[in-house]
Amino acid sequence: MTKELLDKYEAVIGLEVHAQMLTKTKAYSNDVNEYGARPNTNISAVTLGHPGTLPKMNKKTIEFAIKLGLSLNCEIADHQYFARKNYFYPDLPKGYQITQDKTPICTNGHVDLKMGEGVVKKIGITRIHMEEDAGKSIHDVDVYDTLVDLNRAGTPLLEIVTEPDLRSGDEAYAYVTEIRQLVRYLEICDGNMEEGSLRCDANVSVRLKGAEEFGTKVEVKNMNSIRNVQRAINFEIERQIEMVEKNEPIAQETRSFDAVNTRTISMRTKEAANDYRYFPEPDLQPLSVTKEHVQAVKDEMPVLPNALFEKYTKELSLSDYDASNIISTKPFAAYFELLIQYTKNYKAAANWMNGDVRSYLNQQGKTIEEFPITPEKLAALIALIDEGKVSNTIASQKLFPALLENSEKSPQAIAEELNLVQDSDESSIKGFIDEVIKQHPSEVERYKGGEKQLVGFFMGQLMKVSKGKADPKAANKLMREMLEN
């Protein structure tokens, strides 16, 4: 689609994210809540909704909801009750889900998305409510039959609904990334989109730029990665623009994302949509959350990525980019927190973490918890560079790999063993420079004739002659002086 046509329209997007809570037991029963157990083993009569059974509220879910609500700047409702959402489906053993319809536990929040250096986009959070997951229909194991695994039934979910504040696939990408990071920092959800423990439905509409009214929205489901949320939205925006351009009406419907062909396919129209006949759940008591309860949860909150971001950009003067990368996961940030206890060169610390350390982890398929070099030793390596004993290049190419292999040794000892300590001694550097000047008389002539950029060439030769051990800073200065004479 041409940029002109895209620019003529504005996309309006609201997201509904479902997060499976990492509680030990289910939302309204003592059944074990775990992923990957043998099918239909974690189901009691309560989960199955047999007559005479009673649901019982899992207090942990309330705590998790408050945590998430606080970190998304929400108001926490003091009085709430639960509702039954009725529908028939093979994987819904009770015939209804217990959810919060009219009284969500969290309302009226917001999240600030970092959309580039210094650019922030504020997204309103309409509500977060507690509910339970359904079971799972499995269509691809048996050739003839659909199989049902009810283990997932009753898993506690938080549904997080945004205002229609997002305007692009990129913003949706940033939003889901932010939510995933947050639930992982809070340790309330593992954030795994492939396994479906974090799911996102996207509501998408388009309107002419400058128009006041929203267009008809389409809901897109079944994206199993954040990248696919973005791809699905981008496809949907173009599909809707094409429809509007052709004067065709947009049907209010639910569509499914087809990742193989990067398109969305109609699942059901609004006319065929369910009427859930919500009514208050008679078997669960209304809930009241006291100010003291909220405060107690607040007191136990871990440090959040946003607070770290503020610290790194404001106090340590790191760029938004560096800070964002450091805080990407909680353990990565935790390592950095230790590292900066041993070095005050924050920029170098960030560069090592986001550069060589991350490359190593990616290559090895390891997490930072498995990283062999302690923060103290990485700081010692940074100090060797800062003291001019090892060049950045040598540190990265030789010392760091050697330290990975011998992580019990100190960087200083390895540098000495491998003869990597560079020379910043003036007389020996001068000796190297003399050699270079002798070897390249014609380049020296050209340099003296005005081709000052040749200093780069001379420095390269110097590194060869000194086997990379001449301190570049000291050498550069001396080189210029000696070439001028």
Does 101 help bind ligand ADP (rule: CB under 6 A)? no
Q: Quick one: which of 70, 116, 98 has its CA closest to 302?
A: 70
**Which stretch in 37-45, 69-77, 162-170, 182-190 sits in contact with ligand ADP by CB under 6 A?**
162-170
Q: How far apart are CA 150 and CA 89, in angstroms?
A: 12
Q: Binding residue for ligand ADP (CB under 6 A) from 25, 42, 61, 203?
A: 203
- In this structure, what token pair is assigned to residue 435? 């050699």
Q: How far apart are CA 437 and CA 431, in angstroms?
A: 10
Q: Is residue 245 helix, strand or coil?
A: helix
Shortest Å distance, C-beta 409 to ligand ADP = 55
Shortest Å distance, C-beta 124 to ligand ADP = 8
DSSP 320-348: HHHHHHHTTSHHHHHHHHHHHHH-S-HHH
Q: Binding residue for ligand ADP (CB under 6 A) from 163, 190, 337, 443?
A: 163
**Which stretch in 18-26, 90-98, 202-210, 291-299 sits in contact with ligand ADP by CB under 6 A?**
202-210
CA 47 → CA 100, 173, 235, distances in Å?
Answer: 18, 35, 39
Does 388 help bind ligand ADP (rule: CB under 6 A)? no
Q: How far apart are CA 113 and CA 44, in angstroms?
A: 42
Shortest Å distance, C-beta 412 to ligand ADP = 56
**Which stretch in 13-21, 64-72, 136-144, 345-353 sits in contact with ligand ADP by CB under 6 A?**
13-21
Q: How far apart are CA 77 and CA 71, in angstroms?
A: 15
| Ramachandran region, residue 154 (left: φ > 0; alpha: ψ -120 to 50; beta: rest) | left
Shortest Å distance, C-beta 158 to ligand ADP = 15
**Which stretch in 6-14, 348-356, 400-408, 477-485 sits in contact with ligand ADP by CB under 6 A?**
6-14
- Comparing CB distances to ligand ADP, the nearer of 15 and 46 is 15
Shortest Å distance, C-beta 200 to ligand ADP = 11
Shortest Å distance, C-beta 201 to ligand ADP = 8
Q: Quick one: which of 80, 92, 200, 94 has its CA closest to 130?
A: 80
Report the site for ligand ADP in 268-327 (rule: CB under 6 A). Answer: none
- Comparing CB distances to ligand ADP, the nearer of 167 and 446 is 167
- Comparing CB distances to ligand ADP, the nearer of 12 and 223 is 12
CA 215 → CA 14, 164, 264, 382, distances in Å?
Answer: 13, 11, 18, 55
Does 12 help bind ligand ADP (rule: CB under 6 A)? yes
- Comparing CB distances to ligand ADP, the nearer of 14 and 156 is 14
Q: Which residues contact 465 (CB under 8 A, 6 or more apart)?
A: 432, 435, 436
Q: How far apart are CA 134 and CA 153, in angstroms?
A: 4
Shortest-Cβ-distance residue relative to ligand ADP: 14
Does 161 help bind ligand ADP (rule: CB under 6 A)? yes
User: In this structure, what are the phi and psi dihedrals at residue 217, rounded to the nearest 5 degrees?
Assistant: -95, 150
CA 285 → CA 49, 59, 156, 276, 468, distances in Å?
Answer: 17, 13, 17, 21, 73
Is residue 25 within 8 A of residue 46, CB to CB? The reply is no
Shortest Å distance, C-beta 101 to ligand ADP = 11
- Comparing CB distances to ligand ADP, the nearer of 237 and 327 is 237
Q: What x-and-dash track marks residues 212-241 binding ligand ADP by CB under 6 A?
A: --x--x------------------------
Q: Binding residue for ligand ADP (CB under 6 A) from 34, 56, 101, 164?
A: 164
Q: How far apart are CA 58 and CA 64, in angstroms?
A: 11
N- to C-terminal Cα separation, the chain:
62
Shortest Å distance, C-beta 82 to ligand ADP = 18
Residues touching ligand ADP, count (CB under 6 A): 14
- Comparing CB distances to ligand ADP, the nearer of 16 and 435 is 16
Task: List, in sequence order, the alpha helices (H) in 58-114.
Answer: 59-71
Let me know how long the chain is: 485
**Which stretch in 8-16, 139-147, 323-331, 451-459 sits in contact with ligand ADP by CB under 6 A?**
8-16
Q: Quick one: which of 446, 451, 457, 179 has its CA closest to 306?
A: 179
Task: List, in sequence order, the alpha helices (H) in 122-262.
Answer: 169-186, 226-245
Does 13 help bind ligand ADP (rule: CB under 6 A)? yes
Is residue 130 within 8 A of residue 286, CB to CB? The reply is no
Q: Which amino acid is at 472?
A: P
**Which stretch in 200-208, 306-314, 350-358, 383-391 sits in contact with ligand ADP by CB under 6 A?**
200-208
Q: Binding residue for ligand ADP (CB under 6 A) from 29, 58, 205, 396?
A: 205
- Comparing CB distances to ligand ADP, the nearer of 157 and 394 is 157
**Could you list the residues that contact ligand ADP (CB under 6 A)?**
12-16, 161-164, 203-205, 214, 217
